Amino acid sequence: MLDIQLLRKDLDGVAKRLADRGYTLDVAAFTALEAERRAVQTRTEELQARRNSLSKQIGAMKGRGEDTSAVMAEVGGIGDEMKASAVQLEDIQKRLSDLMLGMPNLPHESVPVGKDEAGNVETRRWGTPRQVDFEVKDHVDVGTPLGLDFETGAKLSGARFTMLRGQIARLHRALAQFMIDTHTQQHG
């Protein structure tokens, strides 16, 4: 999830970088939620300050032997308002969180902008490709019969994700468990 301080500080810049990635940030919705959050938070802080002031006043009045029932009733009303504000603030923060959880990560500034794989730019190459004397198969052709489900993975998580099924899923789980066991037994 993106840092909310970054959004507050540079909303237009974040929106542009997300647009480069193909995501449209609802700037108006974020701005409205943020303004509503600030207003409720400010109101809650004002109520807290008023309650603190009245509490001090009650202490002074009791010290002088005066009747404090009217001031105590006002403090009780402020407490109810503060609870309502807290519920409202929690709702706003949940909506902000939901909005932010839907945002993808920001691409690095050095990443070239492209709509699809054709827009990719090779920045460097390491090593040389091996020359083989047989037909090289695509990973989709090799993986599909073994239990890699590319279509379901793309539907669930987006392009370039796969679902593991059957024996390959068991192998994946066994390798992960082996790694965990090895690290906990040998490295504490």
Q: What pLDDT was estimated at residue 48? A: 93
Q: Does residue 81 sit in helix, strand or coil?
A: helix
Clarify whether residues 16 and 77 are in a common domain.
Answer: yes
Q: What is the DSSP letter of 136?
A: P
Clarify whether residues 81 and 146 are in a common domain.
Answer: no
Clarify whether residues 16 and 68 are in a common domain.
Answer: yes
Clarify whether residues 87 and 14 are in a common domain.
Answer: yes
Clarify whether residues 54 and 142 are in a common domain.
Answer: no
* Helix 69-101 with 27-64: angle, nearest 10 deg: 160
Clarify whether residues 9 and 95 are in a common domain.
Answer: yes
Clarify whether residues 10 and 93 are in a common domain.
Answer: yes
pTM check: above 0.75: no
pLDDT at residue 67 tops 90:
no
Residue 61 domain-assigned (yes or no): yes
Residue 25 neighbours by CB under 8 Å, 6+ apart: 14, 15, 18, 19, 103
Half-sphere exposure of 169 (CA within 13 A, CB side): 9
> What's 80's domain CATH number?
1.10.287.40
Residue 124 domain-assigned (yes or no): no
Q: What pLDDT was estimated at residue 9? A: 95
Q: What is the DSSP letter of 164?
A: E
For 169-176, what is the mean pLDDT? 96
Give pLDDT tens digits for 108-151: 888 888 777 787 888 888 999 889 999 999 988 999 999 999 88
Q: What distance in Å separates the CA atoms of residue 148 and residue 163, rounded to the nearest whole number?
A: 6
Domain boundary residue among 75, 101, 127?
101
Residue 156 neighbours by CB under 8 Å, 6+ apart: 163
Residue 132 domain-assigned (yes or no): no
Q: What distance in Å separates the CA atoms of residue 36 and residue 32, rounded to the nearest whole number?
A: 6
User: For the chain, what is the domain count?
Assistant: 2
Q: What distance in Å separates the CA atoms of residue 169 and residue 176, rounded to the nearest whole number?
A: 11
Sign of CA dihedral 91, 92, 97, 100: positive
Clarify whether residues 87 and 142 are in a common domain.
Answer: no
Residue 66 domain-assigned (yes or no): yes
Identify which of 17, 1, 4, 11 has the alpha carbon closest to the alpha carbon of residue 92. Answer: 4
Residue percentage of the chain with pLDDT more than 90: 57
Residues spanned by the domain of 157: 137-187
